[in-house]
Amino acid sequence: MIKINVTTATKLDKDQLKKIRDTIKDKYEDRIELNQIVDASIVGGIKINIGSLQFDSTVIGKLRMIKKQLLAATQQ
Protein backbone atom coordinates (compact mmCIF):
# COMPACT_ATOMS: atom_id res chain seq x y z
CA MET A 1 0.00 0.00 0.00
CA ILE A 2 1.25 3.46 -0.88
CA LYS A 3 0.76 6.34 1.54
CA ILE A 4 -0.06 9.65 -0.03
CA ASN A 5 -0.16 12.97 1.78
CA VAL A 6 -1.89 15.91 0.15
CA THR A 7 -1.10 19.27 1.75
CA THR A 8 -3.09 22.40 0.96
CA ALA A 9 -3.67 25.76 2.62
CA THR A 10 -7.44 25.34 2.78
CA LYS A 11 -9.57 22.23 3.08
CA LEU A 12 -10.33 20.47 -0.19
CA ASP A 13 -13.84 19.24 -0.93
CA LYS A 14 -14.70 15.68 -1.85
CA ASP A 15 -14.72 16.26 -5.62
CA GLN A 16 -11.26 17.78 -5.57
CA LEU A 17 -9.88 14.93 -3.49
CA LYS A 18 -11.45 12.39 -5.81
CA LYS A 19 -9.83 14.04 -8.80
CA ILE A 20 -6.42 13.81 -7.15
CA ARG A 21 -7.00 10.20 -6.12
CA ASP A 22 -8.05 9.23 -9.65
CA THR A 23 -5.02 10.90 -11.22
CA ILE A 24 -2.63 9.10 -8.93
CA LYS A 25 -4.42 5.75 -9.00
CA ASP A 26 -3.80 5.32 -12.72
CA LYS A 27 -0.04 5.55 -12.19
CA TYR A 28 0.21 2.98 -9.43
CA GLU A 29 -0.96 -0.61 -9.35
CA ASP A 30 -0.92 -0.79 -5.56
CA ARG A 31 -3.74 0.27 -3.31
CA ILE A 32 -3.37 3.85 -2.19
CA GLU A 33 -4.18 5.60 1.05
CA LEU A 34 -4.90 9.29 0.72
CA ASN A 35 -4.29 11.64 3.62
CA GLN A 36 -5.36 15.23 3.67
CA ILE A 37 -3.31 17.80 5.56
CA VAL A 38 -4.30 21.42 5.92
CA ASP A 39 -1.40 23.78 6.52
CA ALA A 40 -1.89 27.51 6.11
CA SER A 41 1.87 28.18 6.15
CA ILE A 42 2.22 26.99 2.55
CA VAL A 43 0.17 30.09 1.58
CA GLY A 44 -1.35 28.51 -1.51
CA GLY A 45 -0.96 25.75 -4.04
CA ILE A 46 -0.60 22.06 -3.34
CA LYS A 47 2.03 19.62 -2.13
CA ILE A 48 1.72 15.89 -2.75
CA ASN A 49 3.95 13.31 -1.11
CA ILE A 50 3.91 9.81 -2.58
CA GLY A 51 6.17 7.61 -0.51
CA SER A 52 9.53 9.39 -0.46
CA LEU A 53 8.69 11.35 -3.60
CA GLN A 54 7.49 14.92 -3.22
CA PHE A 55 5.77 17.21 -5.74
CA ASP A 56 5.90 20.69 -4.30
CA SER A 57 3.76 23.24 -6.09
CA THR A 58 3.06 25.53 -3.16
CA VAL A 59 3.59 29.28 -3.13
CA ILE A 60 6.11 29.04 -0.33
CA GLY A 61 8.01 26.35 -2.24
CA LYS A 62 8.18 28.54 -5.36
CA LEU A 63 9.37 31.51 -3.31
CA ARG A 64 12.04 29.32 -1.79
CA MET A 65 13.15 28.26 -5.28
CA ILE A 66 13.32 31.89 -6.42
CA LYS A 67 15.34 32.81 -3.35
CA LYS A 68 17.80 29.99 -3.94
CA GLN A 69 18.29 30.82 -7.60
CA LEU A 70 18.64 34.56 -6.95
CA LEU A 71 21.28 33.89 -4.30
CA ALA A 72 23.12 31.59 -6.68
CA ALA A 73 22.95 34.24 -9.41
CA THR A 74 24.37 36.94 -7.14
CA GLN A 75 27.26 34.74 -6.00
CA GLN A 76 28.56 34.28 -9.51
Partner 1 sequence: MIKKKTQKITADFSSLMDGIKKSSNVSSNFFNQQLSTLVKKTNIETEAKSLGKVLSYGDGVVAVEGLDDINAGELVDLGNDSYGLALNLEKDRVGVISLMDDKKLRAGDYVKKAGRLLSVNVSDSIIGRVVDGLGVPMDKKGAISPGKEMPLEKIAPGVITRKSVSVPLQTGVKAIDAIIPIGRGQRELIIGDRATGKTSIALGAVLNQKDQDVVCVYVCIGQKRSSLANAIGILKKHDAMKYSVVVAATASAPASQQYLVPFTGQAIAEYFLEKGKDVLIIFDDLSKHAKSYREISLLLERPSGREAYPGDIFYLHSRLLERSCCLNEDYGGGSVTALPIVETQAGDVSAYIPTNVISITDGQIYLETDLFNQGLKPAINLGLSVSRVGGSAQIKAMKQVAGTMKLDLAQLRELEAFAQFSSDLDQKTKAQLDRGLRVRSILKQAWDKPLKVEEQIMVIYAAVNGYLDDVMESRLIVWENLFIKHLRGGQQDLLDNIRQNLKLDDTLKENMSEVIRKFNESDQDLQDNNHDE
- Note the residues at the interface with partner 1 (CB under 8 A): 39, 41-43, 49, 51-57, 60, 62-67, 69-70, 73, 76
* CB closer to partner 1 out of 23 and 57: 57
Q: How far is the CB of 42 from partner 1 (least distance, A)?
A: 8
Write the DSSP assignment of 3-69 as a string of letters. EEEEEESS---HHHHHHHHHHHHHH-SS-EEEEEEE-GGG-SEEEEEETTEEEEEEHHHHHHHHHHH
* CB closer to partner 1 out of 25 and 62: 62
